[in-house]
């Protein structure tokens, strides 16, 4: 039986609306994920901010009206196009900012926070990107599966992130059913995006603020998805739990109080770099 995880509505002004999922001290029951925000953003909302100890991952749905202008203190400045993914592994610390490429148009995305193993939290920050056209796609009768992270069967994303996780963007036409394999030792959870989704025979909708999470099992298993009451979209997340403590302060999450204190001191000392220069439009061509 799944564990029921709960979503919380989260709004900032009139330009940011989200359903937020957060884990507990060790991100149970969604470890190694610390959280996911299913968001709609139509204007810059968050100023430049620090990250340390985990990865911030942005995946845009294909129905997003515009892309995301992404920049960081490593000198990266790029467009995340609808259907694309960008992974920022903060490691020992980085400054980061994202905002809609075109104000007034709505970005539809999931912002994913993935924990780093304790021994990788002091690594130098780095980034990975995947363009929409490079995301592998599995087509089955009435079913479309995009694989920006991880794998579905023999189909694998080309990205090799520092924490091995899967993200499957699944669209089901009315009447379609799909069995999603989950590897032994991996936890998983299913986030409805739209429509009334049957997961192992139980129904979930985004506006009901609940989703099913499946703790890691010793043997491989599968999750059944079905669109018995109209077409649906869902994202299935999975990964091997890290089973390590999480100490939060704002946008930093480390595996010990001492490491968190050191990250805060490094940020205050300016070791994360800066994003103080004026924003120049990214080349969208």
Is residue 167 domain-resident?
Answer: yes
Tell whether 51 is in a known binding site.
Answer: yes
DSSP string covering 123-139, please?
A: SPPEEEEE-GGGS-EEE
Closest CA to 177 of 136, 139, 228, 138: 228
Give how many domains the chain has, as a whole number: 1
Say what the pLDDT of residue 284 is: 43
Is residue 92 domain-resident?
Answer: yes
Say what the pLDDT of residue 280 is: 44
CB atoms within 10 A of CB 82: 17
- What does the block give as tokens for 247? 């100490």
CB atoms within 10 A of CB 217: 14
Is residue 143 domain-resident?
Answer: yes
Q: Does the predicted TM-score (pTM) go above 0.85? A: yes
Strands (E), 73-131: 77-80, 85-89, 94-100, 107-115, 126-130
Is residue 244 domain-resident?
Answer: no
Tell whether 77 is in a known binding site.
Answer: no
Is residue 259 domain-resident?
Answer: no
Tell whether 221 is in a known binding site.
Answer: no
Query: What CATH number did the domain enclosing 51 receive?
Result: 2.60.120.10
User: 222, 180 in Cβ contact below 8 A?
Assistant: yes
Is residue 197 domain-resident?
Answer: yes
Say what the pLDDT of residue 12 is: 84
Say what the pLDDT of residue 281 is: 44
Is residue 282 domain-resident?
Answer: no
Task: In whole angstroms, give the CA distance from residue 51 to residue 271.
Answer: 12
Is residue 68 domain-resident?
Answer: yes
User: 189, 213 in Cβ contact below 8 A?
Assistant: yes
Mean pLDDT by 10 residues, the chain (285 residues): 89 89 69 96 89 98 97 96 98 96 94 97 97 98 98 96 98 98 96 97 91 94 96 98 93 96 97 72 43
Tell whether 119 is in a known binding site.
Answer: no
Say what the pLDDT of residue 26 is: 45
Quote the domain boundaries for residue 23: 3-239
């Amino acid at each position: 039986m799944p564990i029921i995880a709960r979503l919380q509505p989260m709004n900032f002004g009139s330009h940011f609306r989200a359903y937020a999922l957060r884990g507990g001290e060790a991100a149970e029951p969604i470890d190694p994920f610390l959280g996911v925000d299913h968001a709609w953003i139509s204007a810059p909302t968050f100023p430049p901010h620090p990250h340390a100890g985990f990865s911030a991952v942005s995946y845009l749905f294909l129905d997003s009206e515009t892309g995301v202008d992404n920049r960081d203190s490593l000198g990266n400045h790029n467009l995340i196009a609808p259907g694309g993914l960008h992974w920022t592994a903060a490691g020992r610390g980085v400054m980061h900012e994202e905002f809609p490429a075109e104000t007034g148009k709505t970005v539809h995305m999931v912002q994913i926070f993935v924990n780093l193993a304790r021994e990788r939290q002091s690594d130098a920050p780095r980034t990975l990107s995947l363009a929409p056209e490079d995301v592998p796609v599995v087509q089955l009768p009435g079913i479309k599966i995009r694989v920006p992270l991880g794998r579905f069967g023999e189909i694998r994303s080309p990205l090799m992130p520092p924490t091995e996780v899967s993200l499957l963007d699944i669209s089901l036409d009315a009447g379609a059913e799909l069995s999603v394999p989950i590897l032994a030792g991996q936890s998983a959870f299913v986030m409805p995006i739209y429509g009334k989704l049957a997961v192992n025979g139980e129904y979930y909708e985004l506006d009901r603020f609940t989703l099913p999470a499946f703790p890691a099992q010793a043997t491989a298993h599968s999750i059944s998805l079905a669109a018995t009451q109209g077409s649906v979209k869902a994202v299935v997340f999975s990964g091997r739990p890290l089973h390590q403590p999480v100490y939060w302060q704002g946008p930093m999450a480390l595996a010990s109080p001492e490491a968190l204190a050191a990250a805060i001191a490094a940020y205050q000392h300016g070791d994360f770099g800066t994003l103080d220069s004026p924003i120049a439009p990214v080349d969208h061509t």
